């Protein structure tokens, strides 16, 4: 049953990774900016939830905290990302990385370097027992919420008119602007949406991983790897990449032990070697 438990845990982990990577991929596809401040929005989501959870309860906090993170995303777009539109993607990487490092230190100044624990809601704060199989209900809960987030973004992109414009903007944003759509407004919208998604993912992960200043950069690199593996702007590719990384990381503990952290990098190297645009992508990250 250990193998089954690890496999299910890998699916949960993969869905959380995919949710964060989805926001990363959307911003990168529409704006052309490698937004390394994306991880800090994940951290802000967890901290906002931790503060609000103690005052208004878990359910209201789960709705309010992502709105606060969306405001952070708007500020990042206005103050940082807007300056590097149309430039080499590496410029965006460097300026957003610097901003993220500064925000991480600000979090340490305000909240201190300590790690804070959050108790899962009472209705999922117990194990699911099926015969000899035992698994935390909360992990199933966050897997369901993460899957709903991904499905909602996919439905928005595939079934709505504005979603179709956003999808087109991932592959040729300048042409979308030339056809009369407000490219500036679309980039702001995607930045706010991507930040809110990352913030909600941080909320979901908080009871599982605890709340700490470094949690953003711990999620950032797997998210970036998943974006490259799945293909730029591809929601199905992001989901497949997230699940692949999550399951391999979880199951890898049985095989390679302490070397498990290198598995995502090996997967990325193999996939990019054979599929330079990712598993389901239509555009290279530097094109």
Report the distance separating Cα 153 and Cα 267, nearest Å.
26
* Residue 136 in domain: yes
pLDDT-based confidence at residue 45 (cuts at 50, 70, 90): very high
Domain count for the chain, please give it. 1
CA distance 165 to 186: 9
The residues, ordered by sequence, that sit 6+ positions from 108 with a Cβ below 8 Å of its Cβ are 213
Q: How far is CA 167 from the centre of its chain?
A: 18
Give tens-digit pLDDT for 18-28.
Answer: 999 998 988 88
Segment of 37-46, 184-193, 230-239 carrying the highest mean pLDDT: 37-46
The residue that leads in pLDDT, 219 or 282, is 219
Q: Per residue in 140-185, pLDDT tens?
A: 999 999 999 999 999 998 888 887 777 777 666 666 666 677 778 8
> What's the CATH code of the domain at 220?
1.10.3470
Greater model confidence, 253 or 72: 72
> What residue numbers bound the domain in which 190 lies?
2-274
Share of the chain above pLDDT 70, in %: 93
Among 16, 246, 237, residue whose Cα is nearest residue 143: 16
Phi and psi angles of residue 202, each rounded to the nearest 5 degrees, phi first: -65, -35
What are 212-255's pLDDT values in tens digits?
999 988 898 999 999 989 887 788 899 999 999 999 999 888 88
The residue assigned the tokens 């499905």 is 151
- Residue 197 predicted with pLDDT over 90: yes
Which pLDDT does position 202 carry in this prediction?
93
Contact 230, 240 (CB under 8 A): yes
Q: Which residues pair with 127 in a beta bridge?
A: 136
The secondary structure of 141-166 as a DSSP string is HHHHHHHHHHHHHHHHHHHSHHHHHH
Q: What is the pLDDT of residue 231?
A: 85
pLDDT of residue 96: 92
Tokens 């605890």 belong to 210
CA–CA separation, 226 and 264 (whole Å):
8
Among 34, 9, 5, 27, CA closest to 193: 27
Question: How many other CB atoms are there within 10 angstroms of residue 266's CB atom?
Answer: 10
Residue 233 lies in a domain: yes
Q: Could you tell me which residues come within 8 angstroms of residue 186 by beta carbon, excluding any fewer than 6 positions away?
A: 30, 165, 166, 169, 173, 176
The answer to whether position 279 is within a domain reads: no
Whether 34 maps to a domain, the answer reads yes
pLDDT value of residue 173: 66
Q: For residue 287, is pLDDT > 60?
A: no
Whether 54 is in a domain gets the answer: yes
Task: Please report, for residues 121, 248, 249, 250, the alpha-carbon distance to residue 50 in angstroms, rounded to integers and kept in the order given.
Answer: 13, 30, 27, 27
Residue 129 maps to a domain: yes
Average pLDDT over residues 76-97: 86
Q: Look up residue 88 and give its two tokens.
A: 């080499």
**Whole-prediction pTM:** 0.91
| Structural domain includes residue 220 | yes
Query: Mean pLDDT in the chain?
Result: 87
* pLDDT surpasses 60 at 285: no
Helices and strands, counts by H and E, the chain:
10, 2
Q: Are 242 and 279 in contact (CB under 8 A)?
A: no
């Amino acid at each position: 049953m250990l193998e089954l438990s690890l496999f299910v845990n890998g699916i949960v982990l993969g869905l959380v990774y995919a949710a964060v990577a989805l926001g990363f991929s959307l911003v990168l596809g529409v704006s052309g900016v490698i937004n390394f401040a994306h991880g800090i929005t994940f951290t802000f989501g967890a901290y906002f939830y931790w503060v609000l959870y103690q005052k208004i309860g878990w359910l209201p906090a789960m709705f309010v905290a992502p709105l606060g993170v969306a405001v952070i995303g708007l500020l990042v777009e206005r103050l940082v990302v807007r300056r590097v539109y149309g430039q080499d993607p590496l410029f965006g990487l460097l300026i957003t990385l610097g901003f993220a490092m500064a925000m991480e230190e600000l979090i340490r100044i305000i909240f201190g370097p300590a790690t804070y624990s959050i108790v899962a809601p009472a209705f999922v704060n117990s194990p699911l027992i099926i015969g000899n199989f035992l698994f935390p209900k909360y992990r199933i809960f966050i897997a369901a919420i993460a899957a709903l987030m991904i499905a909602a973004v996919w439905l928005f992109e595939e079934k709505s008119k504005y979603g179709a414009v956003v999808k087109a903007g991932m592959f040729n944003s300048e042409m979308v602007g030339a056809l009369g759509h407000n490219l500036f407004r679309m980039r702001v919208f995607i930045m706010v949406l991507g930040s809110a998604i990352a913030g909600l993912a941080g909320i979901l992960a908080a009871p599982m991983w605890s709340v700490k200043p470094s949690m953003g950069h711990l999620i950032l690199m797997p998210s970036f790897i998943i974006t490259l593996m799945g293909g730029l702007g591809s929601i199905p590719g992001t989901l497949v990449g997230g699940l692949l990384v999550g399951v391999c990381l979880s199951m890898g503990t049985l095989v390679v032990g302490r070397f498990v952290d290198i598995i995502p990098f090996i997967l990325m190297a193999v996939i990019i070697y054979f599929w330079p645009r990712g598993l389901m992508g239509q555009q290279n990250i530097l094109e």
